[in-house]
């Protein structure tokens, strides 16, 4: 497959099998973690404390360096679900929407945009399938002009998150979602595509005839090499680690101590994650 080559529009009738391209989000379409990306903006709007914002920044840095094991993903899921309990859904959407172009748009891989355009020109359906919360994934999908999303669903009552998770879009659940979409939309999975970086998405790639590992973690790369899957590296943009400005964090002795302790914990977590995935 060559994204730069011309593609003929897929001619279909209601009974003709269709082709789909399923994209993971974090580190596949965007060079960051969508779950942690808006931490600074949530802090500025009073939803989280400075300490919680620091923890989210360190968690994002750790994720970008070492990725997350299945167990770490589950832990992050539970922590974030508890954190957002009581938050207004509308306020979260407003904050994320207003800051999208500063926070997420610069982190979208140019290579991912090209691939999405390629699949569209070929007449393929493009779907984002992500473990992040649908309320954030939907906004990123809108930015990319993608109207099909499968993502983690959080319970909402009276316009506020309850902290409960209705559907966790991870691992085998992603593969099942792909199978369900194929049945609903007459996708031919044997000629469809799936893109992801994480070993937790191996079932997702196994569900299609054209699996592509993008910026794969160690376990995903091992699976790709063993199965003869295509491996791609997206480099534009290079993930950015922005340091807080002096106006945002006062560099007092106590703050330095907190950051140092947290950073040590982050490094330990990264090393532990590497050992666990070895």
C-alpha 260/C-alpha 248 separation (Å) is 17
In the set 26, 125, 201, 217, the catalytic residue is 26
Axis-axis angle for helices 218-227, 253-277 (nearest 10): 20
24 is catalytic: yes
Q: How far apart are CA 34 and CA 104, in angstroms?
A: 8
Give bridge partners of residue 150 from the DSSP assignment: 129
**CA-CA-CA-CA torsion sign (16, 149, 219, 171):** negative
Which residue of the set 24, 125, 197, 201 is catalytic?
A: 24
Alpha helices in the chain (DSSP H): 39-44, 50-66, 70-84, 89-103, 110-121, 134-144, 172-185, 202-206, 218-227, 253-277
Nearest in space to 113 (alpha carbons), one of 231, 4, 239: 4
Q: Which residue's structure tokens are 């590992």?
A: 213
3-class SS at 263? Answer: helix
φ, ψ dihedrals at 261, nearest 5°: -65, -45
Give all strands of the β-sheet with 193-196 in edge-to-edge order. 160-167, 148-157, 125-133, 20-23, 193-196, 210-214, 230-232
List the catalytic residues: 24, 26
């Amino acid at each position: 497959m060559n994204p730069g080559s011309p593609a003929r529009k897929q001619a279909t009738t209601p009974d003709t099998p269709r082709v789909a391209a399923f994209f993971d989000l974090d580190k596949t379409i965007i060079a960051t973690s969508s779950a942690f990306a808006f931490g600074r903006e949530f802090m500025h709007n009073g939803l989280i404390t400075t300490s919680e914002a620091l923890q989210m920044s360190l968690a994002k840095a750790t994720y970008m360096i070492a990725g997350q094991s299945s167990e770490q993903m589950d832990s992050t899921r539970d922590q974030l679900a508890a954190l957002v309990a009581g938050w207004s859904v509308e306020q979260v959407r407003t904050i994320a929407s207003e800051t999208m172009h500063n926070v997420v748009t610069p982190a979208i891989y140019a290579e991912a945009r090209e691939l999405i355009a390629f699949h569209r020109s070929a007449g393929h359906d493009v779907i984002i399938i992500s473990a992040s919360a649908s309320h954030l994934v939907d906004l990123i999908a809108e930015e990319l002009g993608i109207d099909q999303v499968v993502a983690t669903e959080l319970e909402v009552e009276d316009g506020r998150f309850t902290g409960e998770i209705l559907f966790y879009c991870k691992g085998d659940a992603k593969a099942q979602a792909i199978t369900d979409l194929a049945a609903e939309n007459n996708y031919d999975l044997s000629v469809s595509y799936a893109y992801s970086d994480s070993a937790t998405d191996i079932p997702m790639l196994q569900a299609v005839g054209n699996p592509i590992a993008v910026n794969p973690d160690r376990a995903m790369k091992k699976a790709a090499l063993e199965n003869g899957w295509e491996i791609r590296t997206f480099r534009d943009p290079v993930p950015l680690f922005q340091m807080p400005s002096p106006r945002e964090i006062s560099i007092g002795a106590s703050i330095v101590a907190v950051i140092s302790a947290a950073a040590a914990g982050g490094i330990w977590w990264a090393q532990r994650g590497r050992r666990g995935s070895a």
